[in-house]
């Protein structure tokens, strides 16, 4: 299970949660025990986080939680399966859903863009969870190792369509081993430019 929320459950649940960049004031009576994915979808209209298994096994509902660590004085980012975490347990946290990192209206985040260009989605139901697991990893490790990439996805992101290879290959473009090939050399249309060193082969 990916959930790494540690600390006391606060009673009563106070409205100190940031969702998608906005303070959220939670009705404790009505929504106090509502899971995070139910709250984001029903109350806030953010339907990118998908509800599938309801048991934290498939990862379709993955979101990123950011909390301040008072010991290290740093912001910690981690992915959680939102179907298992009550919204009230996220006291003092910032919750980022897939809508918060990029869209076709603004601009896709590089994770979204590379999964799309790498044909890493078919039905698309698991894609928001895959994107958010990768996004949380990149917030902590800008150029992760392939082992870190595998660990980020294998603990709870399932896909029944692609067979994972295209998803993993898209993710590997962020890894230290592969990044020399994918340096940010883009044209105006954001397509990868043919690499100069390949011309001499």
Q: What's residue 12's pLDDT?
A: 47
Tell me how far apart the alpha carbons of residues 159 and 148 are, in angstroms, rounded to a whole number: 19
pLDDT digits (tens, 9 = 90+) for 109-153: 899 999 999 988 888 888 999 999 999 999 888 889 988 988 887
Residue 133, domain CATH: 1.10.150.120
Q: Which residues contact 18 (CB under 8 A, 6 or more apart)?
A: 24, 93, 94, 95
Domain count for the chain, please give it: 2
Query: Where a domain ends, among 53, 72, 100?
Result: 100
pLDDT digits (tens, 9 = 90+) for 14-51: 445 666 555 555 555 455 566 776 777 666 777 788 88
Mean pLDDT of the chain: 74
Write down the pTM of the prediction.
Answer: 0.74
pLDDT digits (tens, 9 = 90+) for 58-88: 889 899 888 888 888 888 888 999 888 887 7
Query: Containing domain of residue 180, as a range?
Result: 110-189
Q: Are both 84 and 123 inside the same structural domain?
A: no
pLDDT digits (tens, 9 = 90+) for 152-176: 877 678 888 877 888 889 989 888 6
Q: What's residue 134's pLDDT?
A: 92
Order across the sheet with 74-81: list the strands: 22-24, 17-19, 94-96, 62-69, 74-81
Phi-psi region of 56 (alpha: psi -120 to 50; beta: other; left: phi over 0): left
Q: Which residues contact 191 (CB under 8 A, 6 or more apart)?
A: none
Quick check: 55 pLDDT over 50?
yes
Query: Where a domain ends, among 72, 100, 128?
Result: 100
Q: What's residue 57's pLDDT?
A: 86
Q: Are both 151 and 183 inside the same structural domain?
A: yes
């Amino acid at each position: 299970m990916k959930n790494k929320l540690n600390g006391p459950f606060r009673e009563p649940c106070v409205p100190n949660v940031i969702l998608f960049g906005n303070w959220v004031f939670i009705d404790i009576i009505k929504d106090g025990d509502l899971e995070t994915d139910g709250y984001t979808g029903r109350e806030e209209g953010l339907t990118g986080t998908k509800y599938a298994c309801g048991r934290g096994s498939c990862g379709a509902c993955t979101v990123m939680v950011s909390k301040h660590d008072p010991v290290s004085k740093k912001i910690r980012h981690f992915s959680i399966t939102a179907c298992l975490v009550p919204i009230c347990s996220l006291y003092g946290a910032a919750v980022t859903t897939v809508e918060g990192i990029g869209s076709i209206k603004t601009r896709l985040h590089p994770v979204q863009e590379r999964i799309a260009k790498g044909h890493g989605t078919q039905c698309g139901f698991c894609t928001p969870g895959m994107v958010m697991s990768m996004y949380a990893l990149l917030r902590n490790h800008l150029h992760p190792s392939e082992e870190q990439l595998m660990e980020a996805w294998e603990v709870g992101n399932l896909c029944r369509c692609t067979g994972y290879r295209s998803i993993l290959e898209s993710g590997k473009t962020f890894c230290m081993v592969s990044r020399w090939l994918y340096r940010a050399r883009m044209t105006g249309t954001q397509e990868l430019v043919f690499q100069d060193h390949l011309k001499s082969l």
